[in-house]
Structure 1
Amino acid sequence: MTATHPPVRRGARARREERAGLLFVTPATLGIGLFVLLPMALAVFYGFTDADGFGNAGFSGLENYRRALSDPMFWTSVRTTALYVAVFVPGVYLLALAMALLVNGDLPGRAFFRTAFFAPYAVSLVVVGLVWKYILADSTGFLTQALESLGWDNPPSFLGDPDWALWWVAFISIWFFVGFYMIILLGGLQDIPAEVVEAARIDGSGPWRTLWNVVLPMLRPTSFFVLVLASIAGLAGLQAFDLIYVMTQGGPANSTSMGVFYIYQQAFTFNNVGYASAMATLYAFALLAMTAVAFRITRGGRFDHAD
């Protein structure tokens, strides 16, 4: 006779699967807790102190927050950050969308262009900043010399003029990150059923009408993700900090001193760790509020309609 084994109870199997799942997520959970949540909690705590980074941290209540709200340089950094985001977010989205549409079509050498568009993102941002600093340098820079050879006698100081510096930081950020956002949008485009687009064409819809009435509406969840991700990263200064540190150091005349760079200066240059922590907390709450509003308006990127 064939030996029979007692059936494994469903509850025991579910508990084993639950334990296995917990083991898989534990390393990531510990990493997030140690390197994200703990620093955030410490920043909130130090925001209520006069910590100087050398072990001195007396309680100061809301003084750091009052100081931030009355600090002209803090508000200057906020305006600079807002201007950067206003240029970076629509610029990188529209260019990434155009590139994604291009390489998603029947483009000869499509694989080459996908690689070429993404290639800048594979380079260290510090290296990118150093290269562009050389290109834009006064008198000796490649771009300056090229303009002079074309007859422009006195080209502007691209990184030394407050009217130019932030625009170049935004342009280089777009050039660097557009390949990353292109890949995300390309994935969204490839999820659109080909038969839907083909049906629109059979019904007589031209390329532009198909794009506007079919492709873009179906791409809305991906577009929402890209826009929110780019906005949060721009407000947090994740793209621009390395460029500003390498190329301008916040200058000239604080024209590129975004919020994250001003926080860095207060914490590590002037040793005002408590004040920097308070400003970082304000930025964090602003980011959370912005994300919540965007999520609420778009219903999590679904863009559902009542009908």
Structure 2
Amino acid sequence: MALKDWSTVAGNNNAAPPNGAPEGWAPSAVNNTIREIMAQVRGWFQDPMWINLGLLYEFVSTTSFKISGVDETARYPVGRRVRAVGVATGTIYGRITGSVFATDTTVTVVWDSGALSNETLQVSLGVVSKGKPIAYNDIDMTGQVILLTGIENIAESRIVGRAAGAGTGSPQALTPAQASAIVNAGGSVSQLLTEVDVTGATYTFILTNAQNSIIKANRATAQTFTVPDNATTAFPIYSVIPIYQYGAGQVTIAAAGGVTIRTPETLKARKQYSQMALTKIATDEWILTGDLELA
């Protein structure tokens, strides 16, 4: 018996071992049942993004199937991803476009490719569903790219997060227009960097330089960029400040008192158009990497 065949009502899981745990079962059957549970749970982890509810799915048409006698529309909402498997059908994936209940629940799907065949089907639901967003509330995703390979219609999905600079409060769902603005053709969520054009001979980094910015060193003569101590400017740990030397003037990175900058070479850009990055790794400790002048 598979995991999908077990009941959510504890007392109904009373089939003969190892498929269940009936009253008065022999002690010798306990280990077999535990092993079966372990195998089924481990088997689920082989394919954790899809849930097979163990229902009987009947063919209706090449784009629809039904579940007889029960209302399952709540679990099959419009927009949810599904996977169908059959001998002739093969394995196909699609998105629900209709879900209605009369005597049966009839589900209509737009398939990515392929079609249903008139046969016994196994249908699984995608774990990520419309109206149940994944919210990265407690993960610092600054400077990261989040791949959203399962979202094919941004108007029917939600991206949730806090506004820039808002460290507290409930995450808010972006509008379809906002979400579409940051979803590129490759299916990833990213935030464009804001260029900070520095033309002076000296510059001290500020907090916003590590918030989706890139420093353009734009001077014909030498420039020195200083990393302030944590007491002056409290950059979060793992803040990253990217810099590129656009002008002819060589860029040197300097440390304020109490700050240590680790580097595999020197604290200077190698030549014009070199790019570097500063990463904060401790309270007053940074590491400089990139196209650096050799030591």
TM range (shorter): under 0.3
Q: Could you tell me the TM-score, scaled by structure 1's length?
A: 0.22
Tell me which protein shows more strand as a share of its residues.
2
Q: Could you tell me the TM-score, scaled by structure 2's length?
A: 0.23
Which protein is bigger by CA-based radius of gyration?
2
